[in-house]
Structure 1
Amino acid sequence: MQYAHLLKNPIHFLSLGFGSGLAAKAPGTFGTIAAIPVVILASYLGHTGFAIATLLACIVGVYFCGYTAKAMGEHDHPAIVWDEIAGFMVAFLWLPISWQTLLVGFVLFRIFDILKPWPIRYLDKHVHGGLGIMLDDILAGLATLAILHALIALGWLGL
């Protein structure tokens, strides 16, 4: 918990996923787990409210993640997981929230975030600062979103 002191700063607290990013192993996975209640709560805003909240999470995330990366002295430190939270929100734009969509969305998002298929990997390596930290997870969220919409349209999620 070398960076636990950062949790006292509200921006770092959010960047570190309410502390979930400080997990000793798999901080990105713990950050995505922390995103689940955020997605559920934001879903009560309706589709438009959810979209606005997601857009705001992405925009402020560029600043939050860049600010915390600078304080930690490392670009995209694994403990910075606001990008996972915002990216996971992207994955649920205009979708019904259910245990099925949350479970499948979680698995898909983690796969895209870990494997970083093209163009996610390219952008992850070539875009720097807060935008670079956020962009790969936003793209992972968009890929997850597309697949979830397709699965729902095909009736494969039992909704």
Structure 2
Amino acid sequence: MLPLWHPARIISTGVYVGHLPGPAGTWGSAAALVPAWFIRDAGGPWALAAAAVLITLIGIWASGLYAGAMDMKDPGSVVVDEFAGQWFTLIVVPNELAWFAVAFALFRLLDITKPWPANWADRTLPGGFGIVIDDVIAGLMGLVFMGALIELW
């Protein structure tokens, strides 16, 4: 077990959000909305896209180390993958509460149901890469759906 102060534990659990009681993935996705709002507000969609890539790369390292220390494939307390996936879904979403709520619900649906190829990634990819990439795939699906929905709206 990594100590509470270890950077991999802090990052992989979304600054301990993953330790909250109840559905850790939902807590992680909800917590991801706040920094996404500020990142997008400060730098636009490209800044959020860059942040999503960065959190993906850092999350792969952190979740792999944390999962290995716990001797688990994908600990429930790891929520950095929800941050990454949620941020990808939000890239095209304007900073409006209603759009953020729709993007949140859509990402949670995709993350929970894991349509192909997210389900394949979840089952077959190892370590931190496997922990994070299935949610990134779900987030990219959400990005496409949200882009289409916004365009149709």
| Superposition TM-score, scaled by structure 2 size | 0.93
Answering whether residue 31 of structure 2 is matched by residue 34 of structure 1, we say: yes
**Secondary structure of 2:77 counterpart:** coil
What fraction of aligned residue pairs are identical, expressed as a percent? 34
Distance 1:6 1:82 in 2: 17
Superposition deviation, residue 46 in structure 1: 2.1
What is the one-letter code of the residue matched to 2:114?
K
Deviation of 1:60 after TM superposition, in Å, equals 1.2
State the match for 1:75 in structure 2: 73
Could you list the per-position Cα deviations for residues 39-85 of structure 1 after superposition, in whole angstroms to 9, with x for gaps in the alignment? Answer: 11211122222221111111111101101111221111110000000
- What's the CA shift for 1:97? 2.0
Match of 1:48 in 2: 46
Letter in 2 for 1:153: E
Structure-2 separation of matches of 1:111 and 1:13: 26
**1:110, distance to aligned residue in structure 2 (A):** 0.6
Whole-angstrom CA distance in 1 between matches of 2:3 and 2:144: 35
Aligned length: 152
AA at the equivalent of 1:31:
G
- Alignment partner, residue 12 of structure 1: 9
Is contact 1:39-1:89 (8 Å) kept? Answer: yes
**Is the alpha carbon distance of 1:24 and 1:99 closer, same or farther for their aligned partners in structure 2, counting shifts above 3 Å?**
same
Unaligned runs of 5+ in 1: none
**Runs ≥4 in structure 1, deviation > 3 angstroms?**
none
